[in-house]
Structures are given as structure tokens and as C-alpha cells.
């Protein structure tokens, strides 16, 4: 834990909680996963990743460049119209 850096201590604590809840340890990726679940996109994203021969746990590490996640989200969310719009959403809503 980082002495004198309360925000880093909080993030370290959150990462332990996230992992315990089956979420990615990284804050932005955990937030994305919770958002996708809340909005009904997570099952289709997981299915697309598995169909692509990967696991969600590994692919989420490439969240900002994953074509599998971007395509699945594009198909799952009718408000999104292009892959670049998906990437913009990921960068603005879930910044690294």
C-alpha cells in the first residue's frame, strides 16, 4: 500500500474487493463490467469473446483495443452506430 497516497490505498483496497466479487481488479475495467451487466450487455459480450476463442478475463485487459468487445457492444446497444463510437464511449466513460 502506498504510504501518504490515500487515492492509491483506496484503489488497492477496491481491487481486492473487485477480485473477491469476481470482477477485474483494475478500477476502469471493473466499472465497465458492472456497467455492461447493469445495461444487459455483459452476457452478449462474454458470448462473443468465447465465440472468438478467448476468455472474458483475458480479453478485458485489452478493453480499449478489443475488436471482440467493441463488436459485441455495438450489436448489443442500439444507441451505438459505429466501432469508433464504441471506442470513444470506452475512453470517455471508463478512462484508464
Q: What is the pLDDT of residue 2?
A: 47
Residue 11 lies in a domain: no
Residues of the chain under the 70 pLDDT cut: 1-7
Q: Which residues of 67-88 are buried (b: 16+ CB within 10 A; e: fewer)?
A: ebbbebbeebbeebeeeeebbe
Structural domain containing residue 38: 26-93
Residue 30 lies in a domain: yes
Residue 13 lies in a domain: no
Q: How much is the pTM? A: 0.82
Residue 32 lies in a domain: yes
**Do residues 72 and 44 touch, judged by C-beta distance below 8 A?**
yes
Please state, in angstroms and rounded to a whole number, the distance separating the CA atoms of residues 80 and 91.
Answer: 14
Residue 55 lies in a domain: yes
Could you give the number of structural domains in the chain?
1
**pLDDT tens digit sequence for 29-52:** 999 999 999 999 999 999 999 999
Amino acid at each position: 500500500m502506498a504510504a501518504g497516497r490515500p487515492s492509491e490505498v483506496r484503489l488497492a483496497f477496491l481491487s481486492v474487493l473487485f477480485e473477491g466479487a469476481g470482477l477485474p481488479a483494475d478500477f476502469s475495467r471493473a466499472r465497465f463490467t458492472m456497467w455492461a451487466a447493469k445495461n444487459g450487455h455483459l452476457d452478449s459480450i462474454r458470448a462473443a469473446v468465447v465465440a472468438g476463442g478467448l476468455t472474458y478475463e483475458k480479453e478485458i485487459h485489452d478493453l480499449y483495443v478489443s475488436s471482440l468487445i467493441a463488436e459485441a457492444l455495438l450489436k448489443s446497444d442500439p444507441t451505438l452506430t459505429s466501432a469508433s463510437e464504441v471506442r470513444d464511449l470506452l475512453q470517455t466513460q471508463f478512462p484508464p
